[in-house]
Structure 1
């Protein structure tokens, strides 16, 4: 049998790669940072190359590290599940799910108790890193993605249809110079999500102000931070109606009342072969039944 590196070294590598921090991984594994670093060095000597780019505040997998992580992390998870099933007497099924943080906090997490009661054996590993569809089959089993369209080689089910809202702080309508006309956007900063770059153009076209430019355009990769920025008066956010409704934030208001169909939807996405596995099938069926497009 071919010799393998120590399991502790593999476990340390996966923990650091996933957390991006030696300190955080050491806490997770109940090790001192020097002891964990020695385990990483053991694995790097075994494979004959460095696996991380070491920066001042973070330890990030390099190209070789990313490739190794994609291959061994799922195997380590399966090993952990097998041991858990043996010790508890209950089979553990696991889905590695990519999802945007705002969808997770507003729409998925409030219903996960129902999933756990229905399928107590099913567990989710949540991944909020970017580009989830590109990582399907390489670290992710499935994803809930925000997109205009989906690669036809993937299995996809639309979860919603939405409208673009212009969301601002309440002070914009309650102040001495209230914002009531779309032309006043020329005095405001537009807040745009990087995964939804066409929301502003779609709304502007529907409002018949194609030539109007905002004071500035600030881009975000976090919907939650966009809503907070709007509430703090840092600009107006071009987001989905559901984002506004589900926020339940009295500091926010919808501006102008113009209804614009969004070019983007949330989708459940996976590779076709993944849907044939029991964990993904169970989660898919529950998700479509519970949160899918009606």
Structure 2
């Protein structure tokens, strides 16, 4: 049988590759940093080539490291699953996930049966409360958030880049007071989310009309309520276009054809050490294979 490197060295390599830091990987494996570094070095001696680019407080995979990770990480994860099944510790996988309500209702919940079919023991606790990123590791394993950028101390990956659209009831485009041109907003109420009040500014600047002012601005803290209010003709809502498309509400139309690139995106985020959680890894991989744009 061909000689293999120590499993502890492979485990150390995968953890450093996923976390990007010897210190973080050492904490996850309950080792000292020097001990973990020795395991990495032993694996590099075994394969007779370096696997990382050493940078200040960071370890970045080189091309050889990327190829090795792609080959051994799935096998190591499969080994962990087999051990869990044998010891009885794999009976239940639970993820504590924070997610915006609209994303959950429009894009996530309807697809979860697919995930359950792949992993019958997988369960998710859904949290929709604010300040998700600050609560990672303290009651939350992972979060899906709308943000401009994510703290680089966290692991993050963009799910979708969004655009801003003006939407409302078709009735707003009819009659003597119809809203047909951007200037018509001067006699209209616009609807915005409290956490994304900049969306209207982004949209009006994209049409070179930073001076454009609506008659009034009504604020909401629920995306679904904005959609409902817009459908009832209470104003022109400025929202991410995917929320409009995901609503499948025939009472809503785009008031203007123009859409603007938003500075906001949907992101998946977790603490870097959280990626060692099998439930987090399973959900992360499934999310980007099935839902992410």
* 1:158 corresponds to: 158
Shift of 1:117: 0.4
Give the Cα separation in 2 of the matches to 1:90 and 1:174. 59
Shift of 1:176: 3.8
SS of the aligned residue for 1:256 comes to coil
Does the 8 Å contact 2:98/2:127 carry over to 1? yes
| Unmatched segments (≥5 aa) in structure 2 | 1-84
Give the Cα separation in 2 of the matches to 1:160 and 1:266. 5
* 2:264 corresponds to: 264
* 1:135 corresponds to: 135
Give the Cα separation in 2 of the matches to 1:240 and 1:114. 26
Does the 8 Å contact 1:147/1:195 carry over to 2? no
Shift of 1:193: 1.2
Give the Cα separation in 2 of the matches to 1:238 and 1:143. 24
Shift of 1:209: 1.5
Does the 8 Å contact 2:167/2:256 carry over to 1? no
TM superposition score normalised by structure 1: 0.68
Give the Cα separation in 2 of the matches to 1:226 and 1:197. 13
Residues 226-246 of structure 1: CA deviation (Å, up to 9, x unaligned): 000101111111111111111
Give the Cα separation in 2 of the matches to 1:175 and 1:107. 36
Does the 8 Å contact 1:198/1:263 carry over to 2? no
TM superposition score normalised by structure 2: 0.68
Does the 8 Å contact 2:190/2:238 carry over to 1? yes
Shift of 1:89: 9.5
SS of the aligned residue for 2:110 comes to helix
* 1:183 corresponds to: 183
Number of matched pairs = 207
* 1:194 corresponds to: 194
Shift of 1:90: 6.5
Give the Cα separation in 1 of the matches to 2:181 and 2:136. 44
Q: How does 1:1-294 map to 2 (within 5 A)?
A: 91-293=91-293
Shift of 1:137: 0.9
Does the 8 Å contact 1:183/1:209 carry over to 2? no
SS of the aligned residue for 1:288 comes to helix
Shift of 1:277: 1.0
Give the Cα separation in 1 of the matches to 2:276 and 2:197. 34
- Bigger mean CA deviation after superposition, 274-283 or 188-197: 188-197
Does the 8 Å contact 1:94/1:122 carry over to 2? yes
TM-align CA RMSD: 1.6
Does the 8 Å contact 1:169/1:230 carry over to 2? yes
Give the Cα separation in 1 of the matches to 2:135 and 2:107. 23
Shift of 1:144: 0.3
Shift of 1:98: 0.3
Does the 8 Å contact 2:166/2:259 carry over to 1? no
